[in-house]
């Protein structure tokens, strides 16, 4: 007997989780199967919609004004501007007060660990006090053992980029961290659990100790930016305690992988899935499928360490990610989608998959499935590959999320549309 649901979502990132939540809204049974942990742990946790045009112009002030210009085949063009708005409102309801930015259509400018600013539609509240559009002077604090964030360099970079405030950076020793390669989770755990750490002036709680080493470096700045490691489960409390001790605003600077804001976003989405009654099966890949007489997908096979367990649904959504998430893969002579072998357009000669200019218009960045307006992947003949399969997120082609800063937004919008549609169809 197959494990049976109405809608089966394959993939557990922003796109997969949004798909599952949107489908569950339709009152159907939804299951999400995800092979490995999502690449959200590599993500900044920022929810961008469109930071730059597909021609590289930007940063864009109002992303919604510019969506209409996107070329045919771009995922936003497929779903339409209204769907992008609806998807963001849907996200706002799920995120509640964990995210800010819903008060305006305009992009916020969030300082990153490289000292650049990223245009983004929504941002974690932990970054809110640090927005670059705010003119308060800023102290950035880095740590010797966290080489990913060079605070003095990031501060001068911010100033050089024309930030409307003065920024200064200092590098300190994180109290309680004893190894040079301590994990990000170790820092967060110390602060979350207020572990006792030894300092020059005796043992103190980790939060107090951190505030006490930062405070002497404040020279009138009214806000302090630290790398994003200020607690995990109790992040709001950690920030509030630090702000109170420092008498200044405290914000997190989003970091590269592994990223706590990305992990917190993952937790937020998975809590919402649990609340919505979505069944989640993780750690095991979907490896194959069978079709029915009409050519629709009858069931998929999930490999649980050797057994291929049939999972059946009336509607399926593929949200397995792009080249990084391995929803799209490549070999020396082909680019392909590994589960359903959906059509992925690409040049025959692999030397045409890239251009020499690293930051140029890279063909590989746009590799992915070609969907119709309902987000059903199309074959080379422009007909849907399967009547009951939709696709969402980075498995779709036709856009370069890294250049456009549109990764999270496309995942939200296409997940919202594909999930809603799959839910409605399953209800029929």
Partner 1 sequence: MSDAEQPMDDHVPGEEEGFEPIEVFPEAEDMDLRPGADNCYKCSTCDTNCPVAEVDDEFPGPKFQGPEQWRLKRQEDHDIDDSVMKCSNCMRCDSACPSEVPLSQMHNTARAEYVEENMSKLSREYWRNRMLSNYRKLAPLAATFPRTANFVMGLSATQWMGEKVMGIAGDREFPEFATQTFRGWWTERGGNDTSREQARAARARRGEDLENPHKRIAYFHGCYSNYNTPEVAKALVRVYEHLGYEVMVPEQSCSGTPMFANGMLEDARRAAETNVRELADAIENGADIVASCSSCSMSIRQEYPELFDFEGTEDVAANTWDAVEYLRVHEDLKGELEGTAVDAEFAYHAPCHARNQGLDGQTVEVLSAIDGIDVEDVGDSCSGISGTYGWKEENYETSMKIGEEMFEHMEDAEATTGLTECPTCSMQMGHGTGYEITHTLEVLEAALVD
Give contact residues for partner 1 (rule: CB under 8 A): 1-3, 33, 36-39, 41-42, 178-179, 181-186, 189, 193, 233, 257-258, 263, 274, 279-284, 302, 304-307, 309-310, 324-326, 332, 351
96 vs 306 by CB, closer to partner 1: 306
At closest approach, how far in Å is the CB of 9 from partner 1? Answer: 14
H/E stretch holding 403 reads helix 401-404
CA distance linking residue 76 with residue 301, whole number of Å: 31
Q: What residue spans of 173-280 are helical by DSSP H?
A: 184-192, 206-214, 235-246, 260-275
331 vs 381 by CB, closer to partner 1: 331
- For residue 115, give every residue at least 6 positions away whose Cβ sits within 8 Å of its Cβ, in sequence order, or none: 153, 154, 155, 156, 157, 158, 161
Backbone angles phi, psi at 278, to 5 degrees: -75, 130
At closest approach, how far in Å is the CB of 309 from partner 1? Answer: 6
CA distance linking residue 369 with residue 146, whole number of Å: 38
Contact 254, 7 (CB under 8 A): no
Contact 30, 279 (CB under 8 A): yes
At closest approach, how far in Å is the CB of 267 from partner 1? Answer: 9
- For residue 221, give every residue at least 6 positions away whose Cβ sits within 8 Å of its Cβ, in sequence order, or none: 136, 137, 138, 139, 168, 248
384 vs 393 by CB, closer to partner 1: 393
C-alpha pair distances (Å), 283 with each of 6, 37, 42, 323:
21, 7, 18, 19
At closest approach, how far in Å is the CB of 312 from partner 1? Answer: 11
Nearest CA to 109 out of 127, 131, 126, 130 is that of: 131
At closest approach, how far in Å is the CB of 3 from partner 1? Answer: 6
At closest approach, how far in Å is the CB of 287 from partner 1? Answer: 12
Q: Which two tokens stand for residue 132?
A: 């670059």
At closest approach, how far in Å is the CB of 269 from partner 1? Answer: 13
């Amino acid at each position: 007997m197959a494990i049976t649901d109405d809608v089966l979502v394959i993939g557990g990132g922003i796109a997969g989780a949004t798909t599952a939540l949107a489908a569950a809204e339709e009152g159907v049974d939804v299951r999400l199967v995800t092979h490995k942990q999502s690449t959200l742990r590599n993500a900044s946790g920022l929810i961008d919609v469109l930071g730059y045009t597909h021609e590289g112009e930007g940063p864009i002030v109002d992303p919604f004004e510019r969506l209409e210009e996107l070329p045919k085949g771009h995922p936003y063009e497929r779903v339409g501007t209204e769907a992008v708005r609806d998807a963001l409102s849907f996200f706002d309801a799920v995120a509640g007060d964990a995210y800010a930015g819903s008060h305006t259509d305009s992009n916020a400018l969030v300082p990153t660990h490289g000292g650049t600013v990223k245009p983004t539609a929504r941002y974690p509240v932990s970054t809110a006090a640090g927005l670059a559009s705010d003119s308060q002077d800023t102290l950035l604090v880095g740590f010797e053992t966290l080489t990913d964030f060079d605070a003095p360099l990031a501060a001068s970079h911010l100033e050089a980029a024309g930030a409307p405030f003065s920024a200064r950076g200092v590098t300190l020793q994180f109290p309680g961290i004893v190894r040079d390669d301590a994990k990000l989770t170790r820092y967060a755990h110390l602060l979350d659990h207020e572990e006792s750490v030894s300092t020059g002036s005796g043992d103190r709680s980790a939060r107090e100790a951190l505030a006490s080493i930062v405070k002497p470096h404040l020279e009138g700045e009214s806000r302090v930016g630290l790398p994003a490691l200020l607690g995990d489960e109790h992040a709001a409390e950690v920030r509030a305690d630090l702000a109170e001790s420092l008498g200044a605003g405290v914000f997190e600077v989003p970091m590269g992988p592994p990223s706590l804001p990305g992990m917190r976003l993952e937790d937020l989405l998975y809590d919402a899935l649990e609340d919505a009654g979505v069944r989640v099966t993780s750690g095991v890949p979907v490896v194959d499928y069978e079709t029915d007489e009409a050519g629709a997908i009858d069931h998929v096979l999930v490999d649980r360490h050797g057994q291929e367990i049939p999972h059946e649904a009336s509607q399926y959504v593929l949200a397995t990610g792009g080249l990084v998430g391995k929803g799209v893969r490549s070999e020396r002579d082909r680019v392909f989608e590994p589960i359903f072998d959906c059509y992925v357009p690409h040049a025959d000669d692999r030397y045409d998959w890239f251009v020499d200019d690293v930051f140029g218009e890279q063909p590989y960045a746009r590799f992915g499935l070609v969907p119709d307006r309902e987000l059903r992947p199309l074959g080379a003949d422009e007909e849907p590959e399967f009547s009951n399969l939709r696709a969402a997120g980075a498995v779709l082609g036709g856009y370069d999320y890294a250049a456009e800063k549109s990764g999270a937004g496309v995942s939200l919008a296409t997940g919202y549309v594909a999930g809603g549609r799959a839910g409605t169809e399953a209800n029929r």
